Amino acid sequence: MAAGALGLTLTACGGADDASVAATAGESEGAAPASPEATEAVEEPAVAADILELTAWMQEAQLEQGSAHVEAGFSGSGAELAGLSGTNQVIDFRFGETLKETAMSMSMSLMGTSMDMIMVDGWFYMDMSEATGGEVAYVGTAIEDLAGDPSVGGTLGMAESMDYVAQAELIADAVTAFEHTGVEAVDGQELQSYTVTIDPAALPAGAGPAGVDASSADVISEMEAVYRVDADGLLYSGETRLVAEGEELIMTMQYSDWGEPVDITAPPADQVTDWNEATGG
């Protein structure tokens, strides 16, 4: 008899002597009430079996929240040699099920210059005011027009790579090892940590982490990515580490403000120059 039912039995026998109460208790299925530890099962967090399952969890959680703020940076000797140390990227996302439905606003500082990119309503815009001395405010083009255009594809690929969750799906065929490396306590949260080993030669063109794809595989000796995910499947941070010609490059992405309102709008039409017109394409 459960502890609660046993209590009701004892109450009902208020006039009975100690012997009868003892007998009643002894006849119950369990004379001693179960401890809380025994009755309350501790639910262990689920662990993904492979990169595709992990990606599916992260995508579902990401779409449910709808938006996020991301800050990215580079470190390591390779970053210093490439002039990427001190580079900061600040990105706001409004997630959709397709690239066309996704909106992104990104600000980047690189080698003393700044660059802003906007992707919204199926269009991609780049702020060119600093690069052109104010002659051109923005260049823009429809996302579907970017396919096969090498002058834009690399830039769009860099922007797309900021969505670390979408990228995890793109690199799935290049993953050679997947490991759940345990639980990390960070900022009061318990995060599930996963490490994947990547074969850069198998990465799709323009879609690899940190701008890496098969074209640069011959100089990369090691490449791995780390995903730290909270109990809801939301990405807390992502990290890509590679060694190229003996130099280590690490790109870190920190996610926050999940589900907070995000305002991403296209620049005024009279400030946008067609990409092909601006580049002579």
Instruction: Give the CATH number of domain 51-109+159-263.
Output: 2.50.20.20
Residue 120 CA to residue 236 CA, distance in Å, equals 24
The rounded mean pLDDT for the chain is 80
Q: Where are the domains of the chain?
A: 51-109+159-263
**Percent of residues in the chain assigned helix, strand, coil, to nearest 5:** 30, 35, 35
**5-9, 129-133, 148-152, 189-193: range with highest mean pLDDT:** 189-193
- Give me the mean pLDDT over the 188-206 stretch: 90
pTM: 0.77
Residue 188 CA to residue 105 CA, distance in Å, equals 29
160, 166, 168, 174 alpha-carbon torsion, rounded to 10°:
-70
Residue 224 CA to residue 85 CA, distance in Å, equals 20
* Residue pair 76/249 in contact by the 8 Å Cβ criterion: yes
Residue 92 CA to residue 103 CA, distance in Å, equals 8
pLDDT of the residue at 253: 93
Distance of CA 101 to the CA centre of its chain: 18
The per-residue pLDDT for range 250-280, each reduced to its tens digit, is 999 999 999 999 999 999 999 999 887 776 6
